[in-house]
Chains A and B, each alone.
Chain A
Amino acid sequence: MKKTCAFLILFLLSFISAAIASDAIIVVANTDDKSIQLSRQQVRNLFMGGVIPYDLKAVALPPENQTRVLFNTKVVGLTESRIQSYWAQMRFTGRKTAPKEVKSEDLVLKYLENNDGAVGYLPAGIALPNDLTIIYTIQ
């Protein structure tokens, strides 16, 4: 009985930790400078059209994408509705333009590989090619 309980607890713990791990987000860049590490505020700025000290250009996933939802929640701290409203305001006041959208995580990876300076967010578990650099991680 004790063994069964321990097994169940371990199973649940592993499930929970796997679930947590799957919710982690990495921000990945195609950059020659492998030392770049951004703060959350800088990542937020980058994806909200703001200026950061590096020559990086953000690409985003589509609004309905689950990784984007996690990124909105954990990094940007705003609802998708609010982010869309923000971009409407920025675009129609000529202030900023929204990042290019790429349809899926796999296509983000391909886009990053093919474009110097491109930055995208991805789920933490994804297999990365060697030439891409993780510049921010949030659990």
Chain B
Amino acid sequence: MLNYNENSPVDDFKCGNNYFLLFTCLVFFSGISSSYADTEDNLKVSGFARVVMGYLDDKNAEYLGYDNSISLDQESLIGLQLDYQVVDTLAVTGQVIGHTGAQRDSGIEWLYLTYHPTKALKFKLGRQRTPFLNYSDVIDVGYAYPWATLPQQTYPRHFFSTFDGLMANYEISNNEFVLNIEGYWGGFKDKVVVAERIMEAETTDFRGLISNLAYQNWTFRASYHQGRTSVDLDDVVQFSGLLGQLGFTQSAESLATVGSTEVYQLSVNFENIDYFVRTEFNRIQADFVFVPDSDNYFVSAGYNYLPFSTYISYSQNKTQYEPAATDIPIGINSQLDIIAFSYQEIFNQLPIDSSEAFTIGTRWDLKAGLALKGEISQLNGANSDRAFFTVNDPSFDRKAILYLVALEWVF
């Protein structure tokens, strides 16, 4: 729930050359038919790949790694999945993903057992994607959603990772609706970026409950997730200890590096043959300083005219940190002033990502399993905020247009 994986230096088997992946995608696509292949009755091989080309119209900043040169290596990827049915009620699934983006780790994304005691009940045990939001467990499968990229304001890409644990899924259906309920419990340990610093983080007692209701052309999803995370920030821990020893308990506690994070999510989709409306809201709340509280949402409406669909979207996120404590006096002596300044400086450096995006785009389904998308997003943030940009020039006004073209495959 922190800035997981972003800027992580860990590369399990990252392709040396980013364009190697693109080439691999093309080879796979030319060699594999659009429907997934049954190599044996019990073994299914399937996969997905995407090539995303992006350009930001401003030389003073980067966004999602895109700058004002055309690049293919930020979000392009390939994933392979093997499903092996051991017996009727038991299966093994493994999924590996190779990313071109330097900010994403490649490697095993999934490795789990599925036990299916009845048609309506399913258990999965092992490494799985975290199902925070509607599309967060298919964030890499661009073919599964209409947009070229999921709105960063609602789906911050640092937000998602895998967990190791148990998931249960139960489905209830009748003539009117289908209700799907999922619950999971587990934990994970990973490199994270907190306040633009890379560190180890461990989340324990990580659990969530997800309900998904389909009624006629409507789909409603509501979920709640919670975990207790600790991050390795030795210097902050030491500084917090010092503040505690000096009696500045409020300041000391405000620099906690252990705490719980909660995620609330609600989404509503309506779709029929002619058009769709999708909207999703999520709130992230954390009780330690380095993870801001944020409210995020998007609204998207699209019109289908086969083989095309054109959509417009608006997405926004508002981010804020807990205010700094004020129990360190200023102006009494120079040593206390230095401590107060050092304390305040930690807060001053916390990046604020509040921003909004207006997007218009079109998806063209070339054939089953293959789609081409084009998308233009106007990105706006306040001058004082980071707004998900990497700012190269302080005078940058936090306004830019992002152009994306994406080719999406599933096979």
Q: How far is the CB of A3 from chain B (nearest CB, A)?
A: 42
Q: Which of B135, B169, B365 contacts A80 (CB 8 A)?
A: B365
In the bound complex, CA of A108 to CA of B110 (Å):
35
Q: Which of B119, B120, B141, B173 contacts A89 (CB 8 A)?
A: B141
Q: Which of B119, B128, B272, B307 contacts A78 (CB 8 A)?
A: B272
In the bound complex, CA of A33 to CA of B58 (Å):
67
Contacts of A62 in B (CB 8 A): 368
Q: Are B365 and A84 in contact, with the CB atoms below 8 A? A: yes
Contacts of A14 in B (CB 8 A): none
Task: Answer whether residue B144 sits at the interface, using C-beta atoms and an 8 A cutoff.
Answer: yes
In the bound complex, CA of A50 to CA of B306 (Å):
26
Q: How far is the CB of B251 from chain A (nearest CB, A)?
A: 44
Contacts of B81 in A (CB 8 A): 91-92
Among the stretches A22-30, A39-47, A123-131, the one at the interface with B is A39-47
Q: Which of A42, A72, A78, A89 contacts B144 (CB 8 A)?
A: A89
Per-residue contact bits, chain B 43-57, to A (CB 8 Å; 1 contact, 0 not):
010101000000000
Kindly report which residue of chain A lies nearest to residue B182, judged by CB atoms: A95
Q: How far is the CB of A94 from chain B (nearest CB, A)?
A: 6
Q: Are A45 and B365 in contact, with the CB atoms below 8 A? A: no
Q: Are B307 and A51 in contact, with the CB atoms below 8 A? A: no
Per-residue contact bits, chain B 21-45, to A (CB 8 Å; 1 contact, 0 not):
0000000000000011000000010
Q: Are A41 and B365 in contact, with the CB atoms below 8 A? A: no
Given contacts A82-B271, A84-B368, whether A92 and B79 have CB atoms under 8 Å apart is yes
Contacts of A66 in B (CB 8 A): none
Interface of B is mostly: strand
Interface range on chain B (Cβ under 8 Å from partner): 35 or more
In the bound complex, CA of A82 to CA of B217 (Å):
13
Q: Which of B128, B173, B369 contacts A45 (CB 8 A)?
A: B173
Given contacts A85-B143, A92-B48, whether A77 and B410 have CB atoms under 8 Å apart is no
Those of A85-103 within 8 Å (CB) of chain B: 85-86, 88-89, 91-95, 97, 101
Contacts of B410 in A (CB 8 A): 84, 88, 91-92
Number of A interface residues in the complex (CB < 8 A): 30
Q: How far is the CB of B166 from chain A (nearest CB, A)?
A: 13
Kindly report which residue of chain A lies nearest to residue B128, judged by CB atoms: A94
Per-residue contact bits, chain B 151-179, to A (CB 8 Å; 1 contact, 0 not):
00000000000000000010111011110
Q: Are A42 and B175 in contact, with the CB atoms below 8 A? A: yes
Kindly report which residue of chain A lies nearest to residue B371, judged by CB atoms: A81
Task: Answer whether residue A63 sits at the interface, using C-beta atoms and an 8 A cutoff.
Answer: yes
Q: Are A95 and B169 in contact, with the CB atoms below 8 A? A: yes
Given contacts A79-B306, A92-B79, whether A63 and B368 have CB atoms under 8 Å apart is yes
In the bound complex, CA of A39 to CA of B177 (Å):
12
Those of B110-165 within 8 Å (CB) of chain A: 110, 112, 114, 119-120, 124, 128-129, 131, 135, 137-138, 141, 143-146
Q: Which of B95, B112, B124, B371 contacts A92 (CB 8 A)?
A: B95
Q: A88-B141, A89-B135 are in contact. List 9 more A-B contacts (CB 8 A).
A: A78-B272, A79-B304, A79-B309, A81-B304, A81-B306, A86-B144, A88-B144, A88-B410, A94-B124
Give chain A's interface residues, CB within 8 Å of chain B. 39, 41-42, 45, 50-52, 62-64, 72-73, 77-82, 84-86, 88-89, 91-95, 97, 101
